[in-house]
Chains A and B, each alone.
Chain A
């Protein structure tokens, strides 16, 4: 870590999902020295989505991973720099610049766009951690094919759970869709498709209480939340899609968060800290859609550019 001559950027973007990569395209096209820090996979949540069907302009849909790769290429083409590093800390210095500390070094930036998104929630039940990679999965797109002609469980009631339940029917002999409530948040179209699939068995008002097995997942104990009745269901896999928690730990000392841990921003994605912008699933009241994340990233980058211009930083 070289503190004397840190790498200085005009705009540092934290997180390489749809919001961050779109912000990078806009920031780089404004001729700002732009960096994107990504700790894992570019694309974020969309990278493991088999088919994105609701992004405007792709009538046949597009594979989420390919879409993300396209965004990276587009951002790099205009000069944005990708750094596969995990940001540990963001600090605003007394001179108004930001210090971004990663697992590999320290950087300076005149403005920060935080688009760190959200991570999937775990069930938090016995057997879950033990059987990750041996039947417990958070990515049906990656793992469904290993359960050819076997029965599997998909947990959740939102778009992700419904999408993945439909995907797993390509391989599984039976898909038990387990949801803790009677109603579902998934879009009406996805609900129609799921309800029309003979292979999908809907289990309402029910939670997974335990995941059982020896070498790998063999069964799950289900509990009806209304009656308290439990049953053990033989299954080879438990795919878990029960919502997400925003990655706001980096921001909690800098700005106010809402009850769900999302960052408060104005309509230009500006936080209460001058020069700090937040977009995508990390911000409050996000629609949590790829298109709105990308739109928010563009808004944040334009606002960051305006902020730098007003502060007289660089020639833009």
Chain B
């Protein structure tokens, strides 16, 4: 009986690990690195995480988890609440509706596919921010962050793959 309870807790803890890793990454992304001009172009880590888990283990990255991640990120970053949530949900919708394409893709192909997905999400964020602000925002910073995000994908995807091997069986 006791064994059964621990076993079940173990399974729950393991299935929560994608969510926990993503929340931790969002916090780590905020640590001041004392490097000039890095803050504005730091990659959108949550975007990469949600994409990766939505492709590889969709049952562990549910819409509820995505909502929680987006809300946490929006509240912590001080940006407009809801904008990040909608962008992450868009990633979920794209991956979910095109599951056939994503499920068969290799590591490199997933990186290539990530580029348009991230572009759509960042574009939505820019659009919603413009709407909330009531004026057109500079495109430059968004473009830079988009490029660093796409560039950071393989590195983080490799990390997630290791986590997937160790934590989730």
A, B from the same assembly: no
- Which residues of B are interface residues toward A (Cβ below 8 A)? none
